A and B are shown apart, each in its own frame.
Chain A
Amino acid sequence: DAKTTQPTSMDCAEGRAANLPCNHSTISGNEYVYWYRQIHSQGPQYIIHGLKNNETNEMASLIITEDRKSSTLILPHATLRDTAVYYCIVRVEETSGSRLTFGEGTQLTVNP
């Protein structure tokens, strides 16, 4: 799996957009970018994933650079409940369900 690099922590004001970056400069052509988050003392939650096109769902948007060496997860209107550790994972798709490797992630704190 390609290595990912994320800032250790970020702060965001409630109601503002939270932009979480992830570097994955060694990503392979068949590897997807996945984002998960983990609220304190809970299991992680899948957010979004993408290969090369930008993606949007009800939770967030994912912007992947054209060279795919980095991406940004955008929470358009952050709330206090978005305070969590956000993990960026790069992985190929495996139909049998693949083992995910979690890095240290980014602790996002949304402030009132």
Chain B
Amino acid sequence: GAVVSQHPSWVICKSGTSVKIECRSLDFQATTMFWYRQFPKQSLMLMATSNEGSKATYEQGVEKDKFLINHASLTLSTLTVTSAHPEDSSFYICSVPNRTPPYNEQFFGPGTRLTVL
């Protein structure tokens, strides 16, 4: 399966600043990547689908101008949290779907814990 990395693994920032999170597919070309968010003691919530070479598709209720996604290559997608606020503090996880069956097998990154002060 694919090996997916994320950088940074954790980040602390001040309110109002922007934070970029990278998701890399190390051995797998990914035309699609998914971004999830997970608040403490809650389940994963899909935020957006990142599409290589085209605009991301955002889930209902997710502000596209606040969570900027760029998928410039087949191995890298970035999520930028703009003007971060304490309520954006969360665990952000990306995933890469399998390109062969089972297609619903997704390879997840280790996650990035964002804390906004």
Contacts and interface: CB of A to CB of B under 8 A. Distances in A.
Nearest to A44: B108
Interface residues of A, number: 26
B43 A105 contact: yes
B43 A104 contact: yes
Given A97-B32, A99-B34, A44 B44 contact: yes
Contacts, number: 70
A100 B108 CA distance: 12
A96 interface: yes
A33 to B, nearest CB: 10
Interface of A: 32, 34, 38, 41-46, 49, 87, 89, 91, 93-105
Interface of B: 1, 4, 32, 34, 36, 43-46, 49, 59, 91, 93, 95, 97-99, 101-111, 113
